[in-house]
Structure 1
Amino acid sequence: MTDDDLTYPERGGTRHTPLPPGYHHLREAVRLGHSPTAFAAAGDAVATFRMHRAAGTRIRAGSPRAAPGVTVDVSLGIGPLRITGPCRVVWTVDTADRAGFAYGTRPGHPECGEEAFVVERRPDGSVWLTVTAFSRPARALTRLAGPLVPVFQRAYVRHLGATLRRLTGGAGDRR
């Protein structure tokens, strides 16, 4: 599959620092636990979109697992207030200490940019969800929301972290 329909040129930009200029940047980390079991459970929940679904996000994906090229429609809200954002997975990671993916925006998404969801086991054994994104408004609605968008994004990351902790049941969380 191709990523020619992405609405921004910096494909894979969430893999690197610094993030591309000209966008709002987000990098938030939430501690999930402290064990190999927590890492495995959280990594699987992210890669299968289970974390998103359990957090109340409607996900329609072209595959049960995130993989480069997979299309994903992400919807938040209810009824006439539901906002849908077409995306495509642009990269994945699945190593002994990192698991996750990033998707980029496609035409019709209210934002323009990329967002990554990565579970990481740090050297001290702690397990973290890190969400990294760069974005800017692509529609009048998101331009009008202005400074509220970053506030919403940070709150959503905290919600995802709490959801992921609940899904993993604090799996093996020991200190």
Structure 2
Amino acid sequence: MSTLTYPEVGATRLGPLPRGYHHLHHSTRVGRGAADFAAAGAAITEWRMHRASGARLEASARRPAPGGSVRVSLGLGPLRFTAPCEVIWTAYEEEGRTGFGYGTLAGHPERGEECFVVDLAEDGTVWFTVLAFSRPASWYARLAGPLVPVVQHWYARRLGRTLRRIVAAG
């Protein structure tokens, strides 16, 4: 079994986000109604959203499940960063909410947790949310300093745009 690199396991699901970390909270409207909610949830939990955003992804299972491993890789050519993670929790059973959270493993440039969920609001709006807490774990993440949160927010926005396109395509 792998070892997570932070002690606050599950905080993206239960809250509050722990102190001493950079916090990311980004929400994007991706659709409206039950069909859009189902399409968005499937895209998140079948890894299509990540792959369609340009990330390389290797997962131990077709869908996220607690204890499953995920390796996300971003970059171009030799400038590629790989981020090994473990799925911490899933939200398949919750009405009006679908998604999962994963935590960092050794070799990840950051330490912390991130979740990707889609919620169906009472008014029928479908919202995609990325919620994360992290701090540098590698020398290059520490060296990048204030650029890391900028890149994380850029990637969260990119995921939201990607998911909106997937949902719109049906």
Q: TM-score, normalised by structure 2?
A: 0.96
**Which amino acid letter does the alignment assign opposite residue 101 of structure 2?**
A
| Correspondence for 1:5 | 3
The alpha carbon displacement at 1:153 in A equals 1.1
Contact 1:33 1:170 in 2 (8 A): no
Give distance in 2, aligned partners of 1:108 and 1:79: 19
Identity %: 57
Please list every run of 5 or more consecutive structure 1 residues that lacks an aligned counterpart in the other structure: none
Give distance in 2, aligned partners of 1:109 and 1:17: 22
| Correspondence for 1:155 | 154
The within-5 A match list for 1:57-136 is: 57-94=55-92, 95-136=94-135
Please list every run of 5 or more consecutive structure 2 residues that lacks an aligned counterpart in the other structure: none
**Which amino acid letter does the alignment assign opposite residue 96 of structure 2?**
D
The alpha carbon displacement at 1:170 in A equals 6.0
Q: TM-score, normalised by structure 1?
A: 0.93
Contact 1:110 1:139 in 2 (8 A): yes
SS of residue paired to 2:78: helix
SS of residue paired to 2:70: strand
The alpha carbon displacement at 1:77 in A equals 0.4
Q: Which runs of 4+ in 1 moved over 3 A?
A: none
Question: Is 2:21 aligned against 1:44?
Answer: no
Contact 2:70 2:86 in 1 (8 A): yes
Aligned residues: 169
| Correspondence for 1:23 | 21
| Correspondence for 1:142 | 141
The alpha carbon displacement at 1:145 in A equals 0.9
**Farther off after superposition, 106-115 or 152-161:** 152-161
